Amino acid sequence: MSAPLMELRGVSKRFVRRLSLGDRMAAKLGAAVETREVRAVEDVSLAIVAGETLGLVGESGCGKSTLGRVAAGILPPTTGEALLDGQPVMSRGMNPRKLTTRVQTVFQDPFASLNPRRRIGDTIAEGPIAHRLVGRAGAEAYVAEWLGRVGMDPGYAGRYPHQFSGGQRQRIAIARALAMRPDLLICDEPVASLDVSIQAQVLNLFLELRRALNLTCLFISHDLGVVRHVSDRVAIMYLGRIVELGPTQAIYADPKHPYTQALLTSVPRLKRRRDVDRHDFRPIAGELPSPLAPPSGCHFHPRCPAANDTCRRIYPAHTALAGDRMVACHLHAAKDGAGLGASGLPKAVAAP
């Protein structure tokens, strides 16, 4: 086993409301000015091994999209770093820039992620030409090849995005990302905006391309069924932190963290068998806390049926469990399994 392809070490991302000149002057004069800080991601460490698909699951406000952007080199982390093969993805300093083309992203909204005023052929070819993956002369054939691979007629290269349906645009977005020949593909809710039947088509396409190109993926979604279908390992996020991590089947069969358990039972699922009682719900109590004011201690304690006093005061440390699993919960603390390193992989694997 080699070093992980992508490593996120202690990544935190905080958004601070920028104070206007007036506020700053008022603060200097001693007035109490409210600084609002959103802790979108708090101390996340993850490692993605080459060839695997890591699913990232959570509800809105949990920080999964922000984490995806940090991994993609679009957002610089406040603390910590995102490394691809040991090299940082973004430069540091005043104007951070993305340093690599080996990580590419497929975005959620197929209607907003393509420039409406550019032909899709130009959109797909733009990146590869700019980074000299293909010359201007060969661009047309290159685009045609990729359109064919995502199941679209190469003759469509001259059309504009509005002439395509949502599913087709998402295929174009996939072609654009893959035309850069990335090693790591980050998919940020790629099928959330699509109809169910189109979802299946795009998911099948994704699985086929993943196999053919031997891609490593970070698959971000709120849809538990979709994540289960495509991921090897899954990480569950809640209010900016990872609360559980491990192989997909193991987590779905036997979730350890109360949030994961509640999520899996409370989410409406398609039940097709006749004798199953379809009408009983056990929803999670309480509202999703705002990221502006996360609860003290373990963020889940207000909604957790098993919360105790420690849960209210101290944030639980990551506990390693058997089977390469990790959970952040006091109820499972002091159960030491194979010993997970900070990156969430067994110690023997984590890079020194």
Partner 1 sequence: MIGLKILDRGTPLGRFWAEFCENRIALVSFWIVLIVSALAVLAPLYAPQDPYDIGKLVLTDARRPPGHVGAGGYVYWLGTDAQGRDLLSAILYGLRISVQIGIAAGAIAFVVGGTMGATAAFLGGRVEVLIMRFVDMQLSFPAILLALVISAVLGQGKWQIIAALVAAQYAYFARTAHGAASAERAKEYIEAALSTPLSARAVVFRHLLPNCMPPLIVVATVQVANSIALEATLSFLGLGLPVTEPSLGMLIANGFQYMLSGRYWISIYPGIALIVLILAINLVGDQIRDQLNPRLKR
Partner 2 sequence: MTAQAMTAQAMPAPVLEVRGLRTHFFTRDGVVKAVDGVDLSVARGRVLGLVGESGSGKTVTGLSLIGLIDAPGRIVEGSVRLAGQELIGLAPDELRRVRGRRIAMIFQDPMMTLNPVLKVGTQLSMALRAHERIAAAEVRRRSVAALGRVGLPSPEQCLDAYPHQLSGGMRQRVAIAIAMLHRPDVIIADEPTTALDVSIQGQILHEMQSLAAETGVALVWITHDLAVVSSLAHEIAVMYAGRVVEHGAADEVLSAPRHPYTRGLLESVPGEAAPGGKLLQIPGSIPALVDLPPGCAFRARCPRADALCEAMPEIVGDGLGRAIRCHHPLEAA
Cα dihedral 227, 301, 282, 253 sign: positive
Query: Which residues in the 302-321 window bind partner 2 by CB under 8 A?
Result: none
> Using CB under 8 A, which of 1, 29, 196, 317 touches partner 2?
196
Q: Residues 35-64 vs partner 2: string with x where CB under 8 A?
A: ------------------------xx----
- Residue 79 and residue 68 in contact, taking contact as beta carbons nearer than 8 Å: no
Minimum distance of partner 1 from residue 132's CB (angstroms): 13
Helices and strands, counts by H and E, the chain:
10, 12
- Residue 52 and residue 216 in contact, taking contact as beta carbons nearer than 8 Å: yes
Look at residue 249 and give the partner it binds from partner 1, partner 2, none, a contact being a CB closer than 5 to 8 Å depending on partner kind.
partner 2
Q: Residues 81-120 vs partner 1: string with x where CB under 8 A?
A: ----------------xx--x--xx-xxx--xxxxxxx--
Alpha helix positions (H), 277-327: 309-313
Contact stretch for partner 2 (CB under 8 A) within 98-106, 140-148, 171-179, 196-204: 196-204
Minimum distance of partner 2 from residue 163's CB (angstroms): 12
- Residue 90, SS3? strand
Q: Residues 57-76 vs partner 1: string with x where CB under 8 A?
A: ------------x--xxx--
> Using CB under 8 A, which of 85, 126, 140, 145 touches partner 1?
126
- Residue 68, SS3? helix
Distance set, CA 168 to CA 172, 198, 334, 342 (Å) = 6, 9, 50, 40
Question: Is 202 exposed, middle or buried (CB count within 10 Å of its CB: 0-12, 13-18, 19+)?
Answer: buried
For 68-163, strand residue ranges (E) read: 79-84, 87-88, 103-106
Q: From its phi and psi, is residue 24 left (phi > 0), alpha (psi between -120 and 50) or beta?
A: alpha
Minimum distance of partner 1 from residue 325's CB (angstroms): 32
Query: Which residues in the 223-252 window bind partner 2 by CB under 8 A?
Result: 224-226, 228-230, 248-249
- Residue 109, SS3? coil
What are residue 234's phi and psi, to 5 degrees?
-135, 145
Look at residue 43 and give the partner it binds from partner 1, partner 2, none, a contact being a CB closer than 5 to 8 Å depending on partner kind.
none
Look at residue 288 and give the partner it binds from partner 1, partner 2, none, a contact being a CB closer than 5 to 8 Å depending on partner kind.
partner 2
Query: Which residues in the 207-226 window bind partner 2 by CB under 8 A?
Result: 207-208, 222, 224-226
Minimum distance of partner 1 from residue 74's CB (angstroms): 5
CB atoms within 10 A of CB 181: 15
Residues 244 and 255: their CA atoms lie apart, in Å, by: 8
Residues 102 and 89: their CA atoms lie apart, in Å, by: 9
Look at residue 40 and give the partner it binds from partner 2, partner 1, none, a contact being a CB closer than 5 to 8 Å depending on partner kind.
none
Distance set, CA 306 to CA 133, 155, 197, 234, 333 (Å) = 55, 59, 39, 23, 14
Look at residue 91 and give the partner it binds from partner 2, partner 1, none, a contact being a CB closer than 5 to 8 Å depending on partner kind.
none
Minimum distance of partner 1 from residue 53's CB (angstroms): 19
Look at residue 269 and give the partner it binds from partner 2, partner 1, none, a contact being a CB closer than 5 to 8 Å depending on partner kind.
partner 2
Residue with Cβ nearer partner 1 (95 or 197): 95
Contacts with partner 1 by CB under 8 A lie at: 69, 72-74, 97-98, 101, 104-105, 107-109, 112-118, 126-127, 130-131, 159-160, 162-163, 173, 176, 180
